[in-house]
Structure 1
């Protein structure tokens, strides 16, 4: 299991890669756990799932808790 700093670095790299895909790059490369994965425009959903997984793991390790915001008027 990766530490929090490593996960945050991976998240930044993955978000940058997704941005580059959306900006028209035909292929982006993301390194994770000693291996590199290449994503193309058709793989954007896979990259988004990877980003969601990283965010979830970061939240779990940092003790962050996301939930509904309760408001009263």
Structure 2
């Protein structure tokens, strides 16, 4: 089942708002859609960022496939 662009954009906006709230110190943020409710706490920042990247990829805002990582020496 394909998700329409408007739904993906709404989810992306909600996820970005949740990340912002998390970054400014709100202890728990909630993203809800299609009867699903997900809570993100301070320890979930990485998971929330991955979710945002996934949504952006589905919207064509990021290249598909594996993201490159910086080389650290």
TM-score (norm 1): 0.78
Asked whether 1:14 is paired with 2:15, we answer yes
Instruction: Classify the secondary structure of the residue corresponding to 1:24.
Output: coil
Q: Which is greater in Rg? A: 1
**Alpha carbons of 1:57 and 1:26: their partners in 2 closer, same or farther (altered >3 Å)?**
same
Deviations along 1:2-47, one digit per CA (max 9) or x if unpaired, are 1000000000000000000000000000013420100000001000
Consecutive aligned runs of 4 or more in structure 1 exceeding 3 Å deviation: none
* Worse-superposed segment, 27-36 or 13-22: 27-36
State the aligned residue count: 62
More helix by share: 1
Tell me what 1:4 maps to. Answer: 5
**Alpha carbons of 1:15 and 1:65: their partners in 2 closer, same or farther (altered >3 Å)?**
closer
Unaligned 5+ runs, structure 2: 64-73
Unaligned 5+ runs, structure 1: 67-73
